Amino acid sequence: MKIAIVCCSLNPTSRSAALAQHLRQPLADAGAQVDWIDLREHPLPLCDGGAAYADPAVSGLAGRLAAAQAAVFALPIYNYGVNAAAKNMIELAGRSLTDKPVGLICSAGGQASYMSVMGFANGLMLDFRCWIVPRFVFAHDKDFDASAAPAQAVIDRIESLGLETARAASALTTL
């Protein structure tokens, strides 16, 4: 089984991408092949409702998402919502996720925005019939130490999310 981990932050010191790194080994241990997709390394055009869909970067990303049985998004939260790069990516390649399980890892500056991911999740469910893993990881400033390492409790939640995503992908693949 292949699971795509999609890091949506464009920040060179992204905390959401750092959190997602803790997902790689548990997924590999569960027998999954990980496809690491970092939007910092794969710039996408802005969705214009037309020509952007023909961009080679878009078709490459869509192909990688289509080849995966599930995806986990590592998302930064800015101003009580997921970042624009994540929304743009979904506009351009979201159809490749149709009927697939999706897990969510979020990083935010404060704890008050823990529900900010719900609009993104609802869009995936309604537009592409994605199966949203009902356990998502939300971490904020106080969940990181001075060296920007996440607390062990956050790492444990990330590992649980990975196992639940793999379990959902396995269950849905057998149908």
Query: What's the rounded Cα separation, in Å, for the pair 63 and 154?
Result: 31
Report how far apart, in Å, the C-alpha atoms of 41 and of each of 12, 61, 72, 90, 94 are.
10, 11, 17, 17, 19
159 neighbors 126 (Cβ within 8 angstroms): no
- 11's tokens: 């920040």
- pLDDT digit string, tens, across residues 89-143: 999 999 999 999 999 999 998 888 888 899 999 999 999 999 999 989 999 989 9
pLDDT for the residue numbered 2: 97
Region 49-71: mean pLDDT is 97
- 8's tokens: 């949506």
- 7's tokens: 């890091």
Q: Which domains does the chain have, with CATH numbers?
A: 2-173 (3.40.50.360)
**Is 169 strand, coil or helix?**
helix
3 neighbors 166 (Cβ within 8 angstroms): yes
pLDDT for the residue numbered 148: 86
4 neighbors 70 (Cβ within 8 angstroms): yes
Q: Would you tell me how many other CB atoms lie within 10 Å of the CB of residue 62?
A: 18
Helices 152-173 and 15-29, interaxial angle, to 10°?
Answer: 50
DSSP E strands: which ranges in 8-100? 33-38, 70-78, 81-82
Mean pLDDT value across the chain: 94
